[in-house]
């Protein structure tokens, strides 16, 4: 039951992330592939999502750190859904290499470790995703 609630939060975060980044990207082709990936991921077509994200990341890596970290984070979520823990960890690590304070990737890395049965590491990553007040704040929201 807890994982179902956590996954609901993850899906909301992905939607917020996808929506906020897609509007800010200046390169049409990258936007096209990124949005294709988001649509495919939401519909459950993970292979199509991976293909679209791979195309977007080839363009994004050289130009946009913000979208690149979001794409790696989304790859991680795909691999968690496929229960490929190794590739999920690699993807989240790529996102965190670009931005160690990236809340979504820290939160998702916590989910990965929880699914792997390592509660101690999960808590470490979840604590990185929390703000000073101890509540999770999505990008664009303000804590009270």
What pLDDT, on the 0 to 100 scale, is given for residue 144?
A: 41
Its pTM stands at 0.60
Please answer whether residues 34 and 52 qualify as being in contact, where contact means their C-beta atoms are separated by less than 8 angstroms.
Answer: yes
130: pLDDT confidence band, cut at 50, 70 and 90?
confident
133: pLDDT confidence band, cut at 50, 70 and 90?
very low
Torsion angle of the four alpha carbons 141, 102, 115, 117, in this order, in degrees rounded to the nearest 10: -120
Residues 6+ away with beta carbon under 8 Å from 133: 143, 144
Q: What is the DSSP string of 94-107?
A: HHHHH-TT-HHHHH
For the stretch 9-22, pLDDT in tens is 555 455 545 544 54
Residue 64 clears pLDDT 90, i.e. is over it: no
Helix (H, G, I), strand (E, B) or coil at 58: helix
Ordered by start, the domain boundaries in the chain are 2-129
Query: 103: how many CB neighbours lie within 10 A of its CB?
Result: 19
Tokens of 71: 């794409």
Dmax of the chain from CA atoms? 42
For the stretch 82-109, pLDDT in tens is 999 999 999 999 999 999 999 999 999 9
End-to-end, the C-alpha distance of the chain in Å comes to 28
Nearest CA-CA partner of 102 in 121, 81, 128, 80:
128
Q: Which fold has domain 2-129?
A: 1.25.40
Residue 113 clears pLDDT 80, i.e. is over it: yes
């Amino acid at each position: 039951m807890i994982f179902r609630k956590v996954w609901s939060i993850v899906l909301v975060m992905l939607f917020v992330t996808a929506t906020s980044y897609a509007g800010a990207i200046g390169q049409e082709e990258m936007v096209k592939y990124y949005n294709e990936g988001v649509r495919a991921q939401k519909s459950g077509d993970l292979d199509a999502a991976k293909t679209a994200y791979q195309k977007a990341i080839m363009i994004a890596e050289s130009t946009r750190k913000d979208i690149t970290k979001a794409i790696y984070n989304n790859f991680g979520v795909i691999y968690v859904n496929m229960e490929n823990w190794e590739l999920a960890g690699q993807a989240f690590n790529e996102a965190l290499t670009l931005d160690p304070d990236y809340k979504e990737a820290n939160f998702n890395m916590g989910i990965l470790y929880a699914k792997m049965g390592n509660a101690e590491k999960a808590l470490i990553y979840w604590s990185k995703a929390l703000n000073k007040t101890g509540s999770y704040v999505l990008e664009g929201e303000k804590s009270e």
